[in-house]
Amino acid sequence: MSDLEKWTIIDFQLLDKYIIKITFKDGKTQIIDFEPVIGSGWMRQLIDVAYFSRVKLNQGGNLEWPDGQDFNPEALYEWPKFKDAYINDEIKLERRAQ
């Protein structure tokens, strides 16, 4: 199975406000708390819990919100490796906005 295939999301479940359990094509699961990485820039709308809960699985096998926000599927698959980079990006965006 190629990396692109294994990164394909086949199912997800909202567990709490910003927490999603994701199941990938190869059977791996990730439970991700998105709260630390949303709130400014292109992710500003995701801080609204009602909007965040409108997440869907798109035809490409990735999570997507109504206005097209999504996360790199490799980052979701390997979240522990990518989480800090997303948090750092969020901090930079917040500082620029001040």
pLDDT one-digit tens code per residue, 8-39: 999 999 999 999 999 999 999 999 999 988 88
Q: Which domain holds residue 42?
A: 3-97
Question: Bigger pLDDT: 2 or 68?
Answer: 68
Give the count of beta carbons closer than 10 Å to the beta carbon of residue 46. Answer: 21
Q: Which tens digit of pLDDT belongs to each residue from 57-66?
A: 999 999 999 9
CATH code for the domain in which residue 31 is found: 3.30.2020.10
Is the pLDDT at 95 greater than 70? The verdict is: no
Please tell me the distance from the alpha carbon of residue 49 to that of residue 65, in angstroms, as a whole number: 12
Q: Please compute the mean of the pLDDT values over residues 70-84 and round it to a whole number.
A: 90
Question: What is the maximum alpha-carbon separation in the chain?
Answer: 45
Number of domains the chain contains: 1
The pTM for the full model equals: 0.86
Burial zone of 78 (CB within 10 Å; 0-12 exposed, 13-18 middle, 19+ buried)? middle
Q: What is the pLDDT of residue 4?
A: 77
